Amino acid sequence: MTEVRPPVAASASLWERDAEIAAVTRAVDALCADPSSPGALLALRGEAGLGKTALLAETRRTAEARDLPVWSARGGETLRSVPYNVVRQLLQPALITLHPEDARDHLGDWYDIAGPALGIAEPGERQADPQGVCDGLVAVVRGLTDRDGPLVLLVDDVHWADQETLRWLAALAEHLRDLPVLVVIAYRPDDVTEDSARYLDAAVRATDARTATLSVLTPEATAGLTRATLGPGADAPFCREVWAVTGGNPYDTVELLAKVRDSGLGPVEANAPELRELNRAARGGGLVARLEELGMHATKFALAAAVLGTGITIDMVARLATLDRAEAVRCAELLRGARILTEPDPATGQGADDLEFVHPLIATAVYESIPDALRRAMHGIAAQLVTDSVRARRRRGLPASAPGPPGRRRGTRGATARGRPRAPRRRRPRRRPPLPGTGPGGAAAARGPRPRAVRAGLRHPAHRARHDHPAPAHRPGHAGSGRRRPGRRRGPPLPGPAAQRPVGGGRPHRRGRGRAASARPRPPAAPGGAVHVGGHPRR
């Protein structure tokens, strides 16, 4: 099989990607040939490091060479819980330069609905309907096509996109038949959640999207890439070992060859056993060790950049890393030289102050190396920095360009298009049932049947007089107050001589058979030693 060589200016990750590049070129040419032609959706699938990001960069170069406006965004692993994060990255740059009045005229009736989701308008008092916000964002794209003509939208790492963006993407796909928009998305199928997969499948079905599943490099392509990087003198056994160590992954191959070139290792068969050790140093723990070799400030700068995620600048990272401007610039240059951060590329719109990791795998490795306690603290500080930045922009009359706090905060799970969490619910006090005797009928009706011991005691006239005696109104808990609670309070003293009072004080019934018997009042002795039992004297 012959070696497949991309153009010299193309990325090394585009080896054996001729079919995908041709599909992108055809879609862009169709959009340019007829501005009224229907749009299309291209989906690039593949595991990490297979060249999805390189294909999106090639799509940008192809579209900009034909004077088509290109807007791009990327999902962030630490920003998945921020609503409308990706769609805000994608569409906000097209509207951020407009004055608020011009933006209102441009969006029309959708300004108050879609504006807060895009960060160009203050949220209203009422919570926006999610479906209405989704329709408003589709209307924003339609307005951009009316203003700028055909558009190209690029979304990388869709598997890390927020659910609100994916819902909008599925809705946009249903309208691509009458919109001159080319949407190209890239994602890892193994990292897509069940909810995200539902939206992605709906988008693909709505447009009959062309899906390209990327595969690893063949041994022949790996050999061609090795000789193109290290020189034509690389022998065949060395090239075969490069393919065996990297598994044909383009990103791993490029990183390994860069390590070989930096170490001065000759590309011959005798040095092939050292490739595995170099490959371990190029990623994972080796990457963190390489980062620490750059110094403490450079390490702090890289950790802060990993926490902030995408769409960051040197000034933002410097504030989180507590570094001054000059030191932050020096750290950025060190990290770019170590192939941790990308070099500025005006062709992609990346300026000298814009920062981006060379690959999401590097960002993930740096982020996961942060201890949990330090990571939580940095997220809290980053959230405060972003909030202060948004408030400062609003005080100057500018729209809020920040997507929101980078990372999950407590209480933000219910955040909606308003950009703030819902107010906590207040518990309503439990309404207790009315106490006995407080309803209609008074205490006698609500009291119900009396215990047997109490009924027996009430046969004596003196005891009946005690229970019929009205209690003062200030004695709560007594029968006369309508809130009689047996066994808790004594009633007032019985009228009449003390000799006629029941023995034991006439206490009400308590639980327990023995207690009830002891609490039963004893009738007084009749004349002649007789005892009244059931109202009849007994000798």
Give pLDDT tens digits for 351-365.
678 888 888 888 888
Q: What is the pLDDT of residue 427?
A: 44
Q: What is the pLDDT of residue 477?
A: 46
Q: What is the pLDDT of residue 25?
A: 93
The strand order across the sheet containing 181-187 reads 70-74, 151-156, 181-187, 40-45, 210-213
Q: What is the pLDDT of residue 347?
A: 57
Q: What is the pLDDT of residue 282?
A: 63
pLDDT digits (tens, 9 = 90+) for 267-290: 998 888 888 888 876 665 567 777
* Residue ranges for the chain with pLDDT beneath 70: 1-12, 281-286, 345-351, 389-539
How many Cβ atoms from other residues are within 10 Å of residue 37's Cβ?
12
Residue 39's closest CA among 120, 138, 115, 131?
138
- 372-to-49, 114, 337, 376, 379 alpha-carbon distances in Å: 27, 36, 28, 6, 11
**Under 8 Å between Cβ of 180 and 37:** yes
Residue 164's closest CA among 80, 76, 74?
80
pTM, to two decimals: 0.63
Residues across the chain: 539
Gap between the Cα atoms of 334 and 101, Å rounded: 43
DSSP class of residue 34? -
**Under 8 Å between Cβ of 245 and 257:** no
